[in-house]
A and B are shown apart, each in its own frame.
Chain A
C-alpha cells in the first residue's frame, strides 16, 4: 500500500533534500541517509527511496533491496494507535500469536502494516518485560496485559468511537 505524504511530511522531505549534499553522495552513505530519513519521518515512503536513489546515483531497486534487508527500516507510517503485540516466549506460550491474528483480521492489515486512515499500525515485538501479564500488547505507551480476543475487539472499537466523538466535537465548534 502506498501512503500519500501529508503536508508536514512533504516539508520534512524537502528539508532532508537540502541536507543531503553535506552528507556526500558516496554509496557507503546509503544506510546513514536512510536512517536520517527514518529518524525524521518515522518510516521510508516510496518518494524518499527515489530521492535517495537520485542523490547517490544508484537505482531505486538497489536502495529498496538494502532497506528491506534491515529490520530497522519500515515502509509503513506508524499509526496514531501503534499496536505492538508481544511474541516473546511467555506471550507466545500464552497465545500471543492469536492476539496478533485478531488484530490483523479486525484491522484488515498484516503485521508491519498500517491502516489506510493511519489510525492503527500493528507490529510484533519480542518481550516488553512484563511476562507475568502475558499475553501483552502495548498501544502507544500503554501496556495492556492478559489480552483476549474480546479485548482486541473492545480496544479497536473504543479508539474508533473516540475518534468519531472528537470529529463531532470539532464540527460543533
Chain B
C-alpha cells in the first residue's frame, strides 16, 4: 500500500495502481475518455485526464502514471483545466452536436465533461469540421456514425480483448480517420452478432447495434 495526497484528501491504495484509476475509485473526478480499467498501456489519446504532480514541470495524463508513495497530485489547477478545456473544445469541433436526435443524450461523456469543465457544446472560436458521410452501414451488425465518434479507441480495445481477430480498426488518417471494418458477414465470427461489447464501450453512441 502507498499513501498519496490528491487535492485535499489522502488516499491509501495498492502500489502499482494507475493514478487515474486511483482518483476515480476515491470519488475524485478527473475527466477522461479513452481509459478503460485494466489497460496495460493506456493510449492517453484523449488528452483529457491531465493532473499536476509535484516535482514535474508540466501537467501529465494521469492514466500514464503509476501511484508512488508520498505523491502530491493536484487535479484542479488553472493549467490543468486550460488543457482539458482546449482538448474537449477540439473534440467538440469535429463532433456533430445534435443532442436532440442522439441516443446518447443525457448519457453522454461529452455532455458530462462540458458541464464539469463549464464550456459550451458549440464553440464560438473554433470552426465546426464534419466528415461528409453521416452513417456507415458497412458492418454486418453495427451502425457507425463518423461525426459522433471521438476516436477514443475503446471499441477497438474491447473488441481485441473479446476476439482473437478484431473486427474494428482505425482506418485512414488525420481528419479522415474513422473506425473501419473490412470484410463480409461470413468473415466475422458468429459471436459478433451477440457480443455488443464495442457498442457498450462507446461513450458517445457512435457505434450502435443494427436494429
Contact = CB atoms under 8 A, between A and B. Distances in A.
Interface in B112-169: 165-169
Contacts of B182: 46, 49, 59-61, 63-65
Given A49-B182, A68-B180, A62 B187 contact: no
A167 B169 CA distance: 45
Interface stretch (B8-16, B39-47, B91-99, B170-178): B170-178
Contacts of A65: 169-171, 180, 182
A61 B173 contact: no
B172 A61 contact: no
A126 interface: no
Interface in A46-71: 46, 49-50, 58-65, 68-69
B183 interface: yes
Place the interface of chain A in its size category. 10 to 19
Contacts of A63: 182
A60 B165 CA distance: 9
B172 A68 contact: yes
Nearest to B165: A59
A96 to B, nearest CB: 21
B165 A58 contact: yes
B192 to A, nearest CB: 11
Given A61-B181, A64-B169, 7 more contacts: A60-B183, A61-B183, A63-B182, A64-B182, A68-B171, A69-B170, A69-B173
Contacts of B180: 61, 64-65, 68
A49 B184 CA distance: 12
Contacts of A62: 165-166, 169
B195 to A, nearest CB: 14
A49 B180 CA distance: 14
A65 B180 CA distance: 7
A69 B182 CA distance: 14
Contacts of A60: 182-183, 187
Contacts of B170: 65, 69
A97 B10 CA distance: 61
Contacts of A50: 183, 187
27 contacts: A49-B182, A58-B165, A59-B165, A59-B166, A59-B182, A59-B183, A60-B187, A61-B165, A61-B166, A61-B167, A61-B168, A61-B169, A61-B182, A62-B166, A64-B169, A64-B171, A64-B180, A65-B169, A65-B170, A65-B171, A65-B180, A65-B182, A68-B171, A68-B172, A68-B180, A69-B170, A69-B173
B206 to A, nearest CB: 17
Interface string B30-60: 0000000000000000000000000000000
